[in-house]
Chain A
Amino acid sequence: MTLRERLHAWRYNLVPDHIIGEILEKKWTDSAIPFVVLVATVVGFGTAIPGFFSPYSLQESTRQLGEFSLVVIGMTVVMLGGGIDLAVGAIFALSAFAAIATFFIFAMPVWVACLAAVGTGVLIGAINGFLIGYIRLRAFLTTLVTLIIGRAIFEILIVNYAGKAQMSQVYSDLWDFIGDDTILGASVPVWTALIIAVVAHIALTRSRIGWHILAVGGSRRSAHNAGIQVRKMVFLTYVFSGFTSGLAGFLFATRLSGAGIGTGHGLEILALTAAVVGGNSLGGGRGSIVKGLMGAIIVLVMTNGLIRLGYGTGTNQMVLGVLLAAAVTIDIRWLKNRHKVLNEMYVAPVYLNMVDAPSAEAGSGTKYELNSKLSQARSIGLGEVEGPEDVILDRNDNLYCGTRHGEVVRFFAPDYTDWEVFAHVGGFPLGLAFDKDENLISCVGAMGLYSITPDRKVTRLTAETRRSLTSIVDDAVLRDPNDLDIAPDGKIYFTDSTKRYDAHDWTLDSIENRGTGRLLVYNPEDGSTKTLLDGYHYTNGVTIAHDKKSLLFCETWTCRIHRYWLEGPKKGKAEILIDDLPGYPDNINRASDGTYWMAWLGMRTPSFDLSLRHPDFRKRMTRRLPQDEWLFANVNNGGVVKFDDRGKILMTLGDLEGKSHPSVTSMREHKGQLFIGGILNNRIGVFDIEGADKTWTAPVDYWGEK
């Protein structure tokens, strides 16, 4: 090994490049930029302005922040629903006036004033919602109109009644308490905003109505097609926005005990900027309350800070405008390019030096030498089944297989020309096994471990295991359950091939070659799932050994067969049984004579083996070429190999022309015949095995006569 190769091995196996892709997959990365801006703003102004963090200054600021946050929460919800609410400033002002008029002029109790303010907000919100949701007017223009009309009404009222309110002698402790005092160190507006924020957050992320709003914002058409009441949801977002703005108006009224021409002026721009700067998408559907709050803090700290640094209104507006423009640009560019960045970053190849294998080429004279015997196999279901990864036969000789359409298909004995859909599971049913009670257990790619009863009832057994401590992407989920076998005590041993890719992206996992495959066990008695082994390069076929003391499983990308001990002194340990295969092993199953069959999914090629020692080459390949052009192992040829308990190779069967069985992923021996499946094939093959026991069947071998 050259120094360069050794350095590359270290570089690519020790530096966890894959983490970048996994972090980028996280939704919270959307909040990263606003969070950085938030910290920068607070720290920046905090150090530039002496006394910025003094208790009094903070108290006043947070009071204002509470009110403003309420408005922003409303705006955020409207934006998440795919709309925009420019009327918040007008609502805020009118509600403040309503509270003041009710309390000072009509001398009503405080709670009535509060009700009046909130009622005003809800009413205007409902008008907006009705026009936009039900009449389906444009949100921008409609709320602009309500803004103008609302402000006009407010200005008429304030000119006529401001003096009257000011001369009022009405006094209330409660009113002053709300306006001036604190509870547990925080003012009433802060508490109100916090409570509303928590409620709104929970509603958006955990309730039906919140999900519906997000769905409408994400895609109106899809939401409608999914049966969501789009108009009602849009209506409700504006009502909510009116409600929070009304509440904010009431709090404002208690704080200042008055209102003037300038009340709520330009608030809509501030709120909009806050919501967008926080990272809420203008397009709707993407964002959160927390982002809105972050934006509120950024905007408020910035505007107040600029004023205290002595800058005028013009500068202030300018900064806000630039901030908004920057946020909108980042929002759009990020939305558009995030998946591209992710695609380019995700595949992170590692270094692997494969063990040299004897050639399997015809005429090579090795134990693995392939022939063309499989080309003589008769076809079942030619052109009717697609992707029978695994095949299995029951006690009545009927033949079952999964298909890429998510179905388990049954071919009827004895001639296997008639077939039916036995059960629809979804996903991609891969490995199959019958348990003691003749339930068909299947590893379903991208879904989990499923059981199908003889009367076709489909139940999920498990879809998760314990999450590992260092995982970034939740690896409790089974992304690629592949094959299984059942021990005499009923425990189901199965493999989950990779944590990095979903079942249909198995080719990508091979390019990356990171060992993340697992061996797991499901215990039907208590329904628990346990991870037994982790870190293998694509765990695949599993079979319980004939003596039932161990199981055999294969590691596809490293072309190895392992033995895992179920009992005895090495219980719980795995050891390598065969490690020089020239083909990629897939499923393993028992043979009638006390030995085993393994399927070869494809063949190793010198060019691909070499590329495994050049992770940098593979990395550039994934970035510079489209997926169809990537180098891959040769899966246009495969085969079936028989081996015994000591790992000795006894027989090989191949289809060198690759006409009928190019890639083989499974085989089952049944009454002297071998049934052959292939995940990429459009048929099942039947092959007569010379000299095989014509009475042997797997169900009897596993569970005895019935």
Chain B
Amino acid sequence: MFLDPILDIFRGKTITIPPLDGAYRANTALDDAPLFSDLAQADNLAILDGSLIASSDNTLCRFDAKGHAKTLAEYAAPITAIAVSASGELAVALDDGTLMIGGELCEKPDELACITALAYGSDGALWLANGSTKHPPSDWVVDLMEKNASGSVWRRKAGEFVKVAGGLAWPYGLLPDDKGNVVVSESWQHRLVRLDGGSGKITPVITHIPGYPARLSPRAGGGALMSVFAPRNRLIELVLLEKHYRADMMAEVPRRFWIAPALATGASFMEPLQIGGMKIMGVHKPWSPSRSYGMVVRLDSALQPLDSYHSRANGKRHGTCAAIEHDGRIFAASKGGNAILTLDVA
């Protein structure tokens, strides 16, 4: 009604979030998927010499076809991003800001201290996503609740770092194309954007994603996989608008009990609960509002969503930060669920 904008001042505008429908229609595919490995904190995935490698906290593991893990390397800080070049060169970024390429410590600009994703382009250039200038990757939730947008995307070519674009709200996934451009998941904005490799111009690719997008990886026949590590939640959106409550919460409440997205929930009764999440008659409703979720989305060659694999509010395989296609299967890492899963390519 025409009066609504006026009345909204008094009664407050309803907060809405995009629905889990269409290509994002909910299912239980991630919870039903066979377990490949119960790797704790399974995060980054890549293929090195034809076998799957994954990061788990400070450790980088290599897997055989049956899912047995072998430690490849151990680092001083948690691994935040990995990438393997066409020539087999391994790039690893750590939470303390270190970047190692081919096993060697790499000199880099000071601003590049929060590397959340790495990817090699077809021209051999290394793309780097810098989540924030204010926090390391492990403090992502603080960056979100502070509503920062200080992230940037860089390119390293012939040993030289170039900042392609700045002012991004936590870039968390990279997908370079053949033309020297890159698609970036801008997590706090719930969207994928294409950055022009030359001018740094930003054009949206997907907007209104019903969650927080993380890593991107190419699919064999064109298209891509997008991991979504947490759901959008109307209460969290409200808290993001509530300056004073949010400030007090960040100052007084331990971080794991914040009203904020999480990689996993349900570990403690001190965590916030929403009315819909109450267990009633022994049932935790799968459609209830949740702070954590698992979702891997298949994108077509135009990078539009095709379909998706989910772990819902009552599921366990939440916090899906990375997924990769290999040998005709999709491997998905659930950081919150401490697991790597395999999904058949439909």
A625 near B248 (CB under 8 angstroms)? no
> Which stretch, B139-147, B211-219, B237-245, touches the partner chain A?
B237-245
B11 near A344 (CB under 8 angstroms)? yes
Contacts of A614 in B (CB 8 A): 242, 244-245, 248
A599-629 contact mask (Cβ, 8 Å, vs B): 1 or 0: 0001101111011011001001101111111
For residue A288, CB closer than 8 A to chain B, the reply is no
Max chain B C-beta neighbours (<10 A), residue from A383, A631, A682: A631
Contacts of A652 in B (CB 8 A): none
A607 near B272 (CB under 8 angstroms)? yes
Contacts of B254 in A (CB 8 A): 606
> Which stretch, A11-19, A255-263, A290-298, A633-641, touches the partner chain B?
A633-641
Contacts of A617 in B (CB 8 A): 242, 244-245
B12 near A636 (CB under 8 angstroms)? no
Where chain A touches its partner, the secondary structure class is: loop
CA distance A603 to B266 in the complex (A): 13
A607 near B238 (CB under 8 angstroms)? no
A634 near B234 (CB under 8 angstroms)? no
CA distance A219 to B87 in the complex (A): 78
A4 near B244 (CB under 8 angstroms)? yes
Contacts of B199 in A (CB 8 A): none
A interface, size bucket: 35 or more
For residue B159, CB closer than 8 A to chain A, the reply is no
For residue A663, CB closer than 8 A to chain B, the reply is yes
For residue B249, CB closer than 8 A to chain A, the reply is yes
Within 8 A of A (CB), among B265-322: 266, 268-282, 284, 288-289
Contacts of A620 in B (CB 8 A): 12, 238, 242
Nearest CB of chain B from residue A620's CB, rounded to whole Å: 5
B245 near A624 (CB under 8 angstroms)? no
- The residue that A631 contacts in the complex, of B252, B272, B281, B282, with Cβ under 8 A, is B272
B276 near A629 (CB under 8 angstroms)? yes
Cβ-closest chain A residue relative to B269: A637
CA distance A660 to B249 in the complex (A): 32
Contacts of B220 in A (CB 8 A): none
CA distance A103 to B245 in the complex (A): 82
- The residue that B258 contacts in the complex, of A607, A608, A637, A680, with Cβ under 8 A, is A607
B interface, size bucket: 35 or more
Cβ-closest chain A residue relative to B258: A607
CA distance A189 to B233 in the complex (A): 66
CA distance A507 to B273 in the complex (A): 12
CA distance A611 to B248 in the complex (A): 10
A636 near B11 (CB under 8 angstroms)? no
- The residue that B238 contacts in the complex, of A360, A370, A625, A637, with Cβ under 8 A, is A625
For residue B224, CB closer than 8 A to chain A, the reply is no
CA distance A342 to B275 in the complex (A): 21
A682 near B269 (CB under 8 angstroms)? no
CA distance A449 to B266 in the complex (A): 38
For residue B66, CB closer than 8 A to chain A, the reply is no
CA distance A387 to B281 in the complex (A): 7
B269 near A634 (CB under 8 angstroms)? yes
A603 near B269 (CB under 8 angstroms)? yes
For residue A448, CB closer than 8 A to chain B, the reply is no
For residue B63, CB closer than 8 A to chain A, the reply is no
Within 8 A of A (CB), among B220-241: 233-235, 238
For residue B106, CB closer than 8 A to chain A, the reply is no
For residue A683, CB closer than 8 A to chain B, the reply is yes
B269 near A629 (CB under 8 angstroms)? no
A681 near B245 (CB under 8 angstroms)? no
Cβ-closest chain A residue relative to B15: A624
Nearest CB of chain A from residue B189's CB, rounded to whole Å: 21
Contacts of A605 in B (CB 8 A): 257, 269-273
CA distance A686 to B192 in the complex (A): 54
Contacts of B245 in A (CB 8 A): 610-611, 614, 617
A624 near B238 (CB under 8 angstroms)? yes
B235 near A361 (CB under 8 angstroms)? no
CA distance A629 to B252 in the complex (A): 23
B33-67 contact mask (Cβ, 8 Å, vs A): 1 or 0: 00000000000000000000000000000000000
CA distance A658 to B284 in the complex (A): 10
CA distance A683 to B254 in the complex (A): 34
For residue B259, CB closer than 8 A to chain A, the reply is yes
Contacts of B242 in A (CB 8 A): 614, 617, 620
Max chain A C-beta neighbours (<10 A), residue from B235, B269, B274: B269
Given contacts A605-B270, A625-B15, contact A636 B258 (CB under 8 A): no
A632 near B278 (CB under 8 angstroms)? yes
Nearest CB of chain A from residue B329's CB, rounded to whole Å: 32
A630 near B252 (CB under 8 angstroms)? no
CA distance A370 to B280 in the complex (A): 21
For residue A305, CB closer than 8 A to chain B, the reply is no
Given contacts A625-B15, A628-B289, contact A681 B282 (CB under 8 A): yes
CA distance A605 to B272 in the complex (A): 6
**Across the A-B interface, the 7 shortest Cβ-Cβ residue pairs:** A628-B276, A637-B269, A682-B281, A607-B272, A603-B269, A606-B253, A623-B12
Question: Interface of B with A (CB < 8 Å)?
Answer: 11-15, 233-235, 238, 242, 244-245, 248-249, 252-254, 257-259, 266, 268-282, 284, 288-289
Of the A-B pairs whose beta carbons lie under 8 Å apart in the complex, a sample of 15, sorted by A's number, is A361-B270, A605-B270, A607-B253, A613-B248, A614-B242, A617-B242, A617-B244, A624-B238, A630-B275, A631-B272, A632-B274, A636-B266, A636-B279, A663-B279, A680-B281
Question: Interface of A with B (CB < 8 Å)?
Answer: 4, 344, 359-361, 370, 383, 386-387, 507, 602-603, 605-608, 610-611, 613-614, 617, 620-621, 623-637, 656, 658, 660, 662-663, 680-683
Known: A507-B275, A631-B235. 15 other contacts (CB 8 A): A602-B269, A606-B257, A607-B258, A620-B12, A624-B13, A625-B234, A631-B259, A631-B273, A632-B278, A633-B273, A636-B266, A636-B284, A656-B269, A663-B279, A682-B282
